[in-house]
Structure 1
Amino acid sequence: MEKLLQKYYQKLDRIQQNKVRSLLEDIDWSNRFIGIKGARGAGKTTLLFQYIKVKQLNPNQTLYVSLDDLYFTENNLYSLTEQFVNEGGKQLLVDEVHRYPNWSSELKNIYDDFPDLQVVFTGSSLIHIEKARGDLSRRAVIYELHGMSYREYLSFSGFLNFDKVTLEDIINNHVEISRSIIKKIKPLAHFKDYLTYGNYPYFLESKNAYQQKLIETILIALSTDLPPSYNISYASIEKIKQLLYILAESVPFKPNIAKLSERIGVSRNSLLDFLRYLEELRIIKRLYADTKGIGILQKPEKIYLHHPNIAYALAYRDADIGSIRESFFINQVSVHHPIEYSPTGDFRVGKNIFEIGGQSKTKKQIQGEKYAYIVSDNIEIGHKNKIPLWLFGFLY
């Protein structure tokens, strides 16, 4: 345990608390059993340590462990927890739970057997709490750490901190909100940088190496995180990489499942599974005409890359600007709102239709729709039903 404590203190000393994700304040830390899931690289580990520092927990009563540590090849989490509690431990922070066999059952037993201990755990976006053994769904409160919003990117880049806005705020008051922001910063001056390298906090380490690191992160997620979750073979991983290459060159992709499965050399059902895996890893986003009652074998209407950063990293030619705009809109809005494919505009969010485009985008495609809006790139301020694209980056 001493070596684990040494690693914990070393990491704690390296963590800065001047830049924190908004999820840190959104989480109700009074809960005794909290799960945080998210894509690899989103910043889950940093969030755990910032919880200790920002909330001023007693480091001597808190223990951080990562379950991919070699310690757990010969030791189990339950025994470690028992020793920690007997020595006065109050908060146990457990990282990378998806790398540990039977993690859900063991965490359930820890929760039940140590009623005075708070447990906070993190795992891949792949983990399904509702399907986990030990019935964690009734015990754990689960949050997802998404990639950084444009608002968070501006804060982390050393510009001003801005308040979040709601979708209703944007629809009803976008002119006033835009004007208040523009008084303090020129949002379009930094927007392209965000679309290129702003989704994950490791852009702070090196902007030049960001895209290469993003590619490496995606490949590690495919080869390391995916197999234990779905018990798939190395050959299937190679097929998924082939699929991702095709999608990266073609998005927004209106899939012909029969042709695509034939091209890759897998069955229709396997292809649909592969698409689901890529979405759960937060690499792509599937768009359906109706989000209610989506079946596992249902074909999506369109497929997008999860965030524009991925398009810039994976595309072997210039990324399509139309796809970039739509990908950004989906990524920011879908954090709090289901998005559906619309045969008139590009997207439906509740009763609202959104058509995405450039500065000169017209209302032709959404003519006759009552709750329809043009979302335009390259404008600072909108007018009536025309809204700046960048403003949707302030939703979280």
Structure 2
Amino acid sequence: MDFTRFYDEQFELIKKLDLNFTRSVYELLDIKNNKLIALLGQRGVGKSTMLLQKLKELNNNNALYISVDNPYFANVNLYEFAKKFEQYGGEFLFIDEIHKYKDIGSHLKAIYDMTNLKVIVSGSSLLQIYKEADLSRRMYEIRVPVMSFREFLEVKGYTFNNYSFEEIIENHISIAKEIASKIRPLKYFQEYLEYGCYPFFLEGISSYKQKLLNIVNYILEVDLPYTSNISYSNIDKLKRLLYLISISVPFTPNINELSQRTEISRPSLLEYLYLLEKSEILINLHFKSRGISKLQKPDKIYINNTNLVKAIAENSNIGNERETFFVNQIKSYFLNKKSFFDEDIILSKQGDFVVKDFVFEIGGKNKTKKQIKEIQNAFIVKDDIEIGDNISIPLWLFGFLY
């Protein structure tokens, strides 16, 4: 088999690619010490670029990049292709758009078990990947979140360190002063909330929202039907539900009422909410960990990030946007910190959220400590301030977690 065409294609892809900016999770790509790595995340977060950057950094003539959405692979057995590549001296195989290959689970298992190749794959259709055969024992999974506020600033030319959750809690005043001495964070924060979550904003802001809506529509119209028996009439109803969540104050769902309004049965509606969270369109939060299941009613529902909120509804609620940003950045920070229970952020009866035994109340610059004054380890997270005080932390600063 002649692999020349694939080497020629990858040369064209990487020759203008630089390593000046890499996503925060890039450092987890230890391809030399892991036999099978999967980069999983929503469309547009930069997975393909990460694959090609790692390929360029590896600088190995026995490494090959392929994208299985290439028509060539429509009638090619991927396992046989990989096996032949190894026979011709191949050591590292980079496979992009893995979700577009039929029965990928069995092929990856065979490649893992029957070859010595080091394989790294990327996939955007999370629902389709989760439906495939179980690869948990073989695959090292790296989740790629949307860009943080810090990463957005780096793309814009301003490089800052990221800080752990504990560092921000303990040293937020000095950290905020250091950052504010170099840029006006509130100016760039407003830009980030509208178009900073996905690196393709560099391709043009005028088409940015339409691209986001295309992502949402693809998930609803292609991914969801693949994993459930959803009808197209229900898809239109789910679009209205996403709009309702976007324009609402932080959305506390009445499932029975929503079921009646959307004409979707309660069990089906709960399953769709579960699947939409798996596909990273929604974030469903609860007051305490009870395990995550398809039939569990969320206590609050958020659109995944503020860019999606603003793309779905131009008249979004400012309180909703603030909480959405905070929830998204906290969730993203813990995304690759494996834990048995998903208790990274839960709802609080007093205040808005609990993260690692700290209570947070989210609001504008005039928000008072009334709701949390009796609580130890509690902070007000304020929008529209550059620097906080002993109980107030700037909202934008939580965009420096990764």
Give TM-score scaled by structure 1 length: 0.93
Q: How is 1:198-237 mapped onto 2 (pairs within 5 angstroms)?
A: 198-230=196-228, 232-237=230-235
Q: Give the AA of the match of 1:84.
A: F
1:48 deviates by: 0.2
The equivalent residue for 1:62 is 63
Q: Deviations over 1:346-396 (max 9, x none)?
A: 111121110001111100011211111000111111110111111100001
Q: Deviations over 1:264-321 (max 9, x none)?
A: 111101111111222122112111111342332111111111111111111142x211
Taking a change above 3 Å as real, the CA distance of residues 218 and 295 of structure 1, as seen in their structure-2 partners, is closer
Query: Does the CA contact (< 8 Å) of 2:28 and 2:142 recur in 1?
Result: no
Q: How is 1:81-160 mapped onto 2 (pairs within 5 angstroms)?
A: 81-115=82-116, 117-124=117-124, 126-127=126-127, 132-133=132-133, 135-159=134-158
Query: Does the CA contact (< 8 Å) of 1:21 and 1:152 recur in 2?
Result: yes
The equivalent residue for 2:318 is 321
Q: Give the AA of the match of 1:139.
A: R
1:211 is paired with a residue of what secondary structure?
helix
Q: Give the AA of the match of 1:63.
A: L
The equivalent residue for 1:32 is 35
The equivalent residue for 1:330 is 327
2:241 is paired with a residue of what secondary structure?
helix
Query: Does the CA contact (< 8 Å) of 1:37 and 1:127 recur in 2?
Result: no
1:102 deviates by: 1.3
Q: Which of these residues, 15, 26, 44, is aligned with residue 41 of structure 1?
A: 44
For 1:230 and 1:157, locate their aligned partners in 2 and report how far apart those are by CA, in whole Å.
40
Q: How is 1:371-390 mapped onto 2 (pairs within 5 angstroms)?
A: 371-390=377-396
The equivalent residue for 1:7 is 9
Between the two proteins, the alignment pairs up a number of residues equal to 390
The equivalent residue for 1:293 is 291
Query: Does the CA contact (< 8 Å) of 2:247 and 2:317 recur in 1?
Result: no
The equivalent residue for 1:275 is 273
Query: Does the CA contact (< 8 Å) of 2:380 and 2:391 recur in 1?
Result: yes
Query: Does the CA contact (< 8 Å) of 2:125 and 2:223 recur in 1?
Result: no
Q: How is 1:68-87 mapped onto 2 (pairs within 5 angstroms)?
A: 68-87=69-88
1:214 deviates by: 1.1
Q: Which of these residues, 50, 54, 70, is aligned with residue 51 of structure 1?
A: 54
Q: How is 1:239-254 mapped onto 2 (pairs within 5 angstroms)?
A: 239-254=237-252
1:334 is paired with a residue of what secondary structure?
helix
Two-structure CA RMSD over aligned residues (Å): 1.9
Gaps of 5+ in 2: 335-343
1:222 deviates by: 2.4
The alignment status of 1:353 with 2:356, answered yes or no, reads no
Gaps of 5+ in 1: none
1:230 deviates by: 3.8
1:251 deviates by: 4.8
1:82 deviates by: 1.5
For 1:342 and 1:132, locate their aligned partners in 2 and report how far apart those are by CA, in whole Å.
36
Q: Give the AA of the match of 2:75.
A: E
1:198 deviates by: 0.0
Q: Give the AA of the match of 1:12.
A: I
For 2:366 and 2:221, locate their aligned partners in 1 and report how far apart those are by CA, in whole Å.
43
Deviates more, 1:228-237 or 1:385-394: 228-237
Taking a change above 3 Å as real, the CA distance of residues 363 and 244 of structure 1, as seen in their structure-2 partners, is same
The alignment status of 1:22 with 2:20, answered yes or no, reads no
Q: Give the AA of the match of 2:322.
A: R
Q: Give the AA of the match of 1:43.
A: G
For 1:71 and 1:241, locate their aligned partners in 2 and report how far apart those are by CA, in whole Å.
35
Q: Deviations over 1:248-273 (max 9, x none)?
A: 23252111111111111111011111
Taking a change above 3 Å as real, the CA distance of residues 187 and 369 of structure 1, as seen in their structure-2 partners, is same
1:14 deviates by: 4.3
1:164 deviates by: 1.2
For 2:229 and 2:39, locate their aligned partners in 1 and report how far apart those are by CA, in whole Å.
23
Query: Does the CA contact (< 8 Å) of 1:287 and 1:340 recur in 2?
Result: yes
Query: Does the CA contact (< 8 Å) of 2:248 and 2:317 recur in 1?
Result: no
For 2:350 and 2:150, locate their aligned partners in 1 and report how far apart those are by CA, in whole Å.
30
Query: Does the CA contact (< 8 Å) of 1:248 and 1:305 recur in 2?
Result: yes
For 1:249 and 1:359, locate their aligned partners in 2 and report how far apart those are by CA, in whole Å.
22
Taking a change above 3 Å as real, the CA distance of residues 70 and 131 of structure 1, as seen in their structure-2 partners, is closer
1:46 is paired with a residue of what secondary structure?
helix
Query: Does the CA contact (< 8 Å) of 2:68 and 2:95 recur in 1?
Result: yes
For 1:223 and 1:178, locate their aligned partners in 2 and report how far apart those are by CA, in whole Å.
43
